[in-house]
């Protein structure tokens, strides 16, 4: 099965597709059918060296352009992405298995939003003038970091590439991006579009590979910053490796986020939020609210309504626009999820619906809902990264805040209530970076995205991202004589 939108080589370096079959074969499997739709190759040390040299070579001239000139390229890339949204969405579906119904509105579009947003900001990335006593003054210069490395997770390959490239390039940096080995196709198209938009060859490069390639990029002395989207264990390794050479880092890591539903919540909105926060992208979303705390006297009504609405899920060919629930990204991830479902049952949680593998080619499982989950259960403590919702009961506000915060993670949190004072009070008490009130999993590029505690360091999107892709030089200007003690 081949698709017209597929890239024609493994890597994209110096403004062109590059193939190097000396690298280990990297099969690309379409999760919906299990078919191999492409064979790429992992980057060899020579490929990694070539990509870093290309980035190093392009960065100085790019940084010498004005922010407005850089921004023009990014905004043009956004326009091209939007014009090709269908093809990019088909490719995202092929790469990940996510339904076209989702990829057509949440992946390339989100990437284009980031390019447009940071393209608009680029011209305003100035320093400042500071008036000081005695006629002295100071000024600051916002400088690029140099060569940035982006390491992507497999669930949103187009979006993640753009969420890292857009602020990095807006600030005058160059980038070498390594997508997840599980979903290698989409970033190659982003690189091609940036060239078409006028980016200089070598400014944004894509190389394939797994942990070893990521580690080689992280530790290379030509790299000034590493931005990772991935699991907490990987984050710890990458953060430590980057620290050895005092590199800048952004860590967008995992979570086990709480979604709190009070008994005065709008029932359908709360159920809708729980569906978005557990079953969108077949549950493969880092910020998912997978611990759904429901106030005890609403719990039965919540589960009943949830079951009614789950019956409306259309599980089918992800390329069919009617499909609303697709396969897992890989056989490996499916097995991880099946193991957690077995564990949940073993530990006494009540599987009220779903959790069954479908007897068809590909990585299919039905959305799972566990009730009577307790905080000590494995499925309530560990990130599953699949369509498994845990429903936990609670009595009162203080109790649920304490339980929601009793985790090493702190990526996201959601609260559903009609009492807005309580909503803001509880959100304020929850230890999370990206929160939602009477909503879940909205991620506009104007708003910072990221976690606290073990869920990461730094923020993506919004003006906050500029601080993670640039640094300030301060210049003190003395207008009078220098007075020294001798």
Ligand X SMILES: NC(=O)C1=CN([C@@H]2O[C@H](COP(=O)(O)OP(=O)(O)OC[C@H]3O[C@@H](n4cnc5c(N)ncnc54)[C@H](O)[C@@H]3O)[C@@H](O)[C@H]2O)C=CC1
Binding site for ligand X (CB under 6 A): 151-155, 178, 180-181, 210-211, 214-215, 218, 228-231, 234, 237-238, 252-254, 286, 383, 385, 411, 456
| Nearest residue to ligand X on Cβ basis | 214
89 or 183: whose CB is closer to ligand X? 183
CB of 334 to ligand X, least distance (A): 13
Of 202 and 255, nearer to ligand X (C-beta) is: 255
When computed from its CA atoms, the radius of gyration of the chain, rounded to whole angstroms, is: 24
Residues 6+ apart with CB under 8 A from 146: 56, 59, 173, 174, 224, 225
Positive or negative, the Cα torsion across 220, 25, 319, 273? negative
| Selected catalytic residue, list 192, 252, 363, 390 | 252
Which residue among the candidates 171, 186, 286, 435 is catalytic per the annotation? 286
Helix (H, G, I), strand (E, B) or coil at 174: strand
Catalytic hit among 98, 164, 178, 256: 164
Closest by CA to 226, choosing from 249, 244, 251, is: 249
Cβ distance to ligand X smaller for residue 11 or 76: 11
Rank residues 284 and 295 by Cβ distance to ligand X and give the closer one: 284
Tokens, residue 462: 């919004």
Closest distance of CB 160 from ligand X, Å:
7
In angstroms, what is the minimal distance from the CB of 211 to ligand X? 3
The widest CA-to-CA distance across the chain, in whole angstroms, is 87
Whether 189 is catalytic = no
Nearest to 41 by CA among 211, 188, 181: 181
| DSSP for residue 356 | P
Q: How far is the CB of 232 from ligand X (least distance, A)?
A: 7
- Sign for the CA dihedral angle at 217, 46, 163, 285 comes to negative
Written as six digits, the tokens of 449 are 């995205």
**Minimum CB distance to ligand X smaller for 178 or for 468:** 178
Active site residue 473: no
Q: How far is the CB of 86 from ligand X (least distance, A)?
A: 24
Residue 252 is among the residues annotated as catalytic for this protein: yes
In the residue annotation, 460 being an active-site residue is answered as: yes
Report, in this order, helix, strand and coil percent for the chain, each rounded to 5.
Answer: 40, 20, 35
Residues with catalytic function: 164, 252, 286, 460
């Amino acid at each position: 099965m081949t698709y017209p939108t597929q890239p024609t080589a493994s890597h994209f370096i110096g403004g062109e597709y590059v193939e190097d079959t000396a690298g280990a074969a990297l099969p690309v499997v379409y999760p919906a059918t299990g078919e191999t739709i492409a064979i790429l190759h992992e980057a060899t040390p020579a490929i990694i060296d070539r990509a870093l040299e290309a980035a190093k070579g392009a960065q100085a001239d790019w940084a010498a352009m004005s922010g407005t000139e850089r921004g023009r390229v990014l905004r043009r890339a956004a326009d091209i992405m939007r014009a090709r949204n269908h093809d990019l969405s088909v490719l995202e579906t092929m790469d990940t298995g996510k339904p076209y119904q989702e990829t057509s509105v949440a992946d390339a579009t989100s990437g284009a939003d980031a390019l447009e947003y940071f393209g608009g900001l680029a011209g305003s990335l100035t320093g400042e003038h500071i008036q000081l006593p005695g006629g002295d003054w100071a000024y600051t210069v916002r400088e690029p970091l140099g060569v940035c490395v982006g390491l992507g997770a497999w669930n949103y390959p187009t979006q993640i590439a753009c969420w890292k490239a857009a602020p990095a390039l807006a600030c005058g940096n160059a980038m070498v991006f390594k997508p997840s080995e599980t979903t290698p196709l989409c970033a190659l198209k982003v690189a091609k579009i940036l060239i078409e938009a006028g980016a200089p060859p070598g400014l944004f490069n894509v190389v394939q590979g797994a942990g070893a390639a990521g580690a080689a990029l992280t530790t290379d002395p030509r790299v000034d910053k590493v931005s990772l989207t991935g699991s907490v264990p990987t984050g710890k390794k990458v953060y430590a490796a980057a620290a050895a050479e005092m590199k800048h880092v952004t860590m967008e890591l995992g979570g086990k986020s709480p979604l709190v539903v009070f008994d005065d919540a709008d029932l359908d909105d709360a159920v809708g939020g729980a569906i978005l926060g557990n079953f969108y992208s077949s549950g493969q979303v880092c910020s998912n609210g997978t611990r759904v705390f429901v106030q005890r006297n609403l719990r039965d009504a919540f589960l009943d309504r949830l079951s009614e609405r789950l019956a409306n899920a259309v599980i089918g060919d992800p390329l069919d626009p009617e499909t609303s629930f697709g396969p897992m990204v890989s056989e490996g991830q499916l097995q991880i999820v099946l193991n957690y479902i077995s564990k949940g049952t073993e530990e006494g949680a009540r599987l009220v619906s779903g959790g069954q593998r479908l007897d068809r080619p590909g990585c299919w499982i039905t959305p799972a809902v566990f009730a009577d989950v307790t905080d000590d259960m494995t499925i309530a403590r560990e990130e599953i990264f699949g369509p498994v919702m845990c429903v936990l009961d609670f009595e009162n506000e203080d109790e649920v805040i304490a339980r929601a915060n009793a985790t090493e993670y702190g990526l996201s949190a959601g609260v559903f209530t009609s009492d807005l004072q309580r909503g803001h009070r509880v959100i304020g008490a929850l230890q999370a970076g990206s929160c939602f009130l009477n909503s879940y999993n909205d991620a506009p590029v104007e708003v910072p995205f990221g976690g606290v505690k073990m869920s990461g360091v730094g923020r993506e999107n919004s003006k906050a991202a500029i601080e993670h892709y640039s640094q300030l030089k301060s210049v003190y200007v003395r207008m009078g004589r220098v007075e020294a003690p001798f």
